[in-house]
Amino acid sequence: MSEVVEAVVRRTKLPRWWVEAIAVEYADCREYATRDEIWTFDFDRLSERDLEEAVLTHRVVVHGIMMHNILPDVWGPRSAERLFSNVPVQLAEVPEDVMADGPVSDFYFPFLPNPIQVWDPKLNFSSHFQVLDNGRFWQWRIARFEKVKGRSYGKWVSSEVDLKPLDKVHGKLASLRNPVIKPGDPGHDDFKEKVEGFYEWLDTLRHPILRDLEEVHTIRRAKADSSKVAKSKPRLLSRFETFTVQDGVIHTKFFAEPVFFRGCCQHATRAEELLASTQDNQELVTKLDEVYQERASAVISGATCVEAFINGLGYERFPELWKNMEKLPLGGKWQLYLTLAGKADMFDPGKEPYQSLFQLIRSRNALVHFKRQYHQVRLINNKVETALETELPREFVRNLPDRLRQLIQELCEATAMTTPSWLTSEIDLI
């Protein structure tokens, strides 16, 4: 930890990341060609006076992205998981909910793709730039990264600021880093001088761009929209919650179907495990309550999953009609949606997976509308069964997760929708 940075943070009462960002962009805070890279940050080589003057003089940096309206403990794991899995839902309704574009919420944190110990931010650019204006942080989206045909690296482009000069950096930087001449090696003194010259040249490219960015901020600030600035502290969100900010108020939306699908899978699996581990009827008696508990939970979760799924689609695609369909039975909702989507001929209660859908509805209704009555024991397929066994048949519950997959998958394929990732990702859900 830099004593100089800490001293300036205390005096200016500014965040440490901002003081470091100003030093990285404007101050002589690097040792050149001293290790395995052409730069090494050393903020203590600055005087407190020089660093404080830089902080009070400059107000624009290009230093990663300021994330706001979200807790770091939510954003970090969700973003990491979304890199290799689409099971968690998208975190925010629109990018501006989480990546500030205008005034920044009081609930923010800065994100650098690589810490400064790993990469010098001055050697690259970013999609956003940051401004400290009269004690308030602002951030604006300014650029996008594009591929360049015929070469392995791309370039930053902007419709408002000329970033073409930065396209020269990659080639010069590559030649300096291939290889880095370390202290004590032949030619180190000349190499160090080249690195110092490179950073001086880099300033001649970046400083005009930074001045242009300040002008962009001034123009945009006059028309700034603060509706995406949350007024209350963000809360923890599950993997299946997304959020948006409207007029400063955080709104969340929960996707219930993956949660209940996971529950259905877990309970159906557990019911089978209990039976598989049972040696005889005497042992089964001691486990039968738990077996029925797991089957009942699988049925309730399965029915809730498909109802949440069809209601979600209905409200998204036919909102005015669907808000009046609350009392329509589950089978009717499924049939109505297929009809509205022009696929009414798919709905055949005599075939799978619709046979299982109606068995699911019957079993769910028998449980949630339970009546404490006697029911006759019945002979079914040469086997005597109680009413409870009839309502929660072993084979049906065992196959229920696969039937739900088939049901949802067929609807998605028929209506040109992408099948939800949570439906087929057993590793993440079971």
Residues 85, 168 share a domain: yes
DSSP string, 161-220: S--GGGGGHHHHHHHHTTTPPPTTSTTHHHHHHHHHHHHHHHHHHHHHHHHHHHHHHHHH
pLDDT at 83: 85
Residues 72, 116 share a domain: yes
pLDDT at 425: 67
Would you say residue 250 has pLDDT above 80? yes
User: What's the mean pLDDT in 158-175?
Assistant: 95
Would you say residue 151 has pLDDT above 80? yes
Whether 247 maps to a domain, the answer reads no
pLDDT in tens, 66-80: 999 999 999 999 999
Residues 309, 187 share a domain: no
Which residue type occupies 17? Answer: W
Give the model's confidence band at 157: pLDDT under 50 very low, under 70 low, under 90 confident, else very high: very high
Domain boundary among 226, 247, 279: 226
Residues 321, 383 share a domain: yes
Percent of the chain with pLDDT over 90: 84
Residues 181, 109 share a domain: yes
Residues 153, 10 share a domain: yes
Domain boundary among 226, 245, 264: 226
Residues 283, 397 share a domain: yes
pLDDT at 284: 81
DSSP string, 286-316: HHHHHHHHHHHHHHHHHHHHHHHHHHHHHHH
Whether 244 maps to a domain, the answer reads no
Would you say residue 332 has pLDDT above 60? yes
User: What's the mean pLDDT in 177-194?
Assistant: 93
Contact call for residues 63 and 132 (beta carbons, < 8 A) = no
pLDDT at 61: 98
Residues 274, 215 share a domain: no
Whether 31 maps to a domain, the answer reads yes
Domain boundary among 205, 226, 247: 226
pLDDT in tens, 114-143: 999 899 999 999 999 999 999 999 999 999
- Domains held by the chain: number: 2
Residues 185, 63 share a domain: yes
Residue 131's closest CA among 66, 65, 59?
59
pLDDT at 429: 45
Whether 232 maps to a domain, the answer reads no
Would you say residue 84 has pLDDT above 50? yes
User: What's the mean pLDDT in 93-111?
Assistant: 97
Whether 168 maps to a domain, the answer reads yes
Helix then strand then coil, % of the chain, to nearest 5: 50, 15, 35
Rounded to an integer, what distance in angstroms lies between the CA atom of residue 419 and that of residue 5? 51
Residues 213, 263 share a domain: no
Rounded to an integer, what distance in angstroms lies between the CA atom of residue 52 and that of residue 73? 32
Whether 16 maps to a domain, the answer reads yes
Whether 370 maps to a domain, the answer reads yes
User: What's the mean pLDDT in 53-63?
Assistant: 97
Whether 172 maps to a domain, the answer reads yes
Domain range for 42 is 3-226
Residues 282, 163 share a domain: no
Residues 260, 220 share a domain: no
Rounded to an integer, what distance in angstroms lies between the CA atom of residue 398 and that of residue 394? 6
